[in-house]
Amino acid sequence: MSVSYLTPEGFKKLKEELENLKSVERPRISAQIAEARDKGDLSENAEYDAAKEAQGLLELKIAKMEDVMANARIVDESQLDISKVLILSKVKLRNPANKMEFTYTLVAEQEADLKAGKISVNSPIGKGLLGKSTGEVADILVPNGTMKLEILEISR
């Protein structure tokens, strides 16, 4: 897996979610499996099959989260260069076509939340903005063509 850059807040949130999966969800699914097993013939027990499948999905999710945490790098926002767009940069943008202005913070994929103005650095817009400076116009390839966004301001 590749390196994931996370804020201290994002790392803490990921750690809490992982702990919940391990300490709450894992025992709950184990109890469901035991209860279904007690009902008799496992070859025709749909409840048992469903619980085993849920257990497999949970273990996969736990493994992926552990991998992300093992390869995570905590980013110190105070050390970021604000002369160009990087992860954790807060970017004020204008769409020259319709003159709309908006602000996004570029974050790791795990922390993306469009409602909160946080977009992933792996999204088309995030990728198109990385490395650009104030005053530049980024040509961003989106599903319905190319979008131009002018970078008005970069901050932390």
Which residue, among 53, 50, 63, has the nearest Cα to 22 in the 3D structure? 63
Structural domains of the chain, ranges and CATH numbers in brackets: 4-74 (1.10.287.180), 77-155 (3.10.50.30)
pTM for the whole structure: 0.65
CA dist 153 and 156 (Å) reads 10
- Take residue 63 and report the two structure tokens written for it: 């493994």
Burial 55-80 (b: 16+ CB within 10 A, else e): beebeeebeebeebeeebeebeeeeb
The sign of the CA dihedral 144, 122, 65, 21 is: negative
Are the beta carbons of 38 and 51 closer than 8 angstroms?
no
Q: Is 1 a residue whose pLDDT tops 70?
A: no
Q: What is the mean pLDDT of residues 1-30?
A: 87
Res. 39 pLDDT band, cuts 50 70 90: confident
